[in-house]
Amino acid sequence: MDPSAASKLATIRDRIAKARARFDPLPDQVTLVAVSKTFASDEIEPFLAAGQRVFGENRVQEAKEKWPALRERYPDVALHLIGPLQTNKAREAVALFDVIETVDRDRLAAVLAGEMQRAGRMLPCFVQVNIGLEEQKAGVAPAETVAFVQRCRDEHGLDIVGLMCIPPDGVPPGPYFAQMVALGQAAGVVGLSMGMSGDFEVAIGMGATHVRVGSALFGHRARPD
């Protein structure tokens, strides 16, 4: 076991526990999604050895290159897709991932539903919300979220378990997280994937059930996302 990886993981888990303890009411559990995008297998494996089992990847092709071999040694891994998904990658995504966090349009929802039915794998999904209405980011507009969740369930047959967001950079995230909580309640979902390395404690205080932590575990990325 790499003591550095084990120490970093223990520190983040302790911070999660302390954040939960400061607020009430709390989600029953906060899932740590270790964001391993752009990191190689030999950089990920120490965290697997230290006990982390939930990981997030941005790209289907990159995950396909890394995770099959890792999963042979750690078969209980749960892999979340946390980056944009093109419809032509949906079949591979359904085969490789365990949770899809970035459902953001009807065409993708329909294709995913078809691929899940074909593969016999009905994966839990999150709807990505463009909570800051930023042109450069994917996601459903907040005003359209509830109706989109309903369509994903009723028309496409997806198992929508939560909402996911990436708040705007450089501004306090709390108001955006609060809006996500209200949207989740209106949409009838329990899961809220929100909060990253710089703000996950704030997100937990607002009710996050999943936090996506990358740089605080793996360090800064050597190449752009």
SS3 readout for 153-220: HHCCCCEEEEEEECCCCCCCCHHHHHHHHHHHHHHCCCEEECCCCCCHHHHHHHCCCEEEECHHHHCC
Q: Do 19 and 205 touch, CB atoms closer than 8 A?
A: yes
Q: Return the sign of the alpha-carbon dihedral for residues 11, 52, 54, 97.
A: positive
Choose between 219 and 110: higher pLDDT: 110
Give percent above pLDDT 90 in the chain: 90
| Three-class HEC string of 67-108 | HHHHHHHCCCCEEEECCCCCHHHHHHHHHHCCEEEEECCHHH
User: What residue ranges define each of the domains in the chain, with the CATH number in brackets?
Assistant: 3-218 (3.20.20.10)
Q: Is the pLDDT of residue 48 over 60?
A: yes
Give the model's pLDDT for residue 224: 43
* Average pLDDT of the residues in 43-57: 97
**φ, ψ (nearest 5 deg) of residue 34:** -80, 115
Read off the pLDDT band of 28 (50, 70, 90): confident
The alpha carbon of 36 is separated from its chain's Cα centroid by a whole number of angstroms, namely 12
- In the predicted model, what is the mean pLDDT of the chain? 94
pLDDT in tens, 152-192: 999 999 999 999 999 999 999 999 999 999 999 999 999 99
CA distance 217 to 38: 13
Give percent of the chain with pLDDT exceeding 70. Answer: 95
Is residue 81 classed exposed, middle or buried when 0-12, 13-18 and 19+ CB atoms within 10 A define those classes? buried
**Average of pLDDT values for 53-79?**
97
Whether omega before 172 lies within 30 degrees of 0, making that bond cis, reads: no
pTM for the whole thing?
0.94
Report whether pLDDT(27) > 70: no
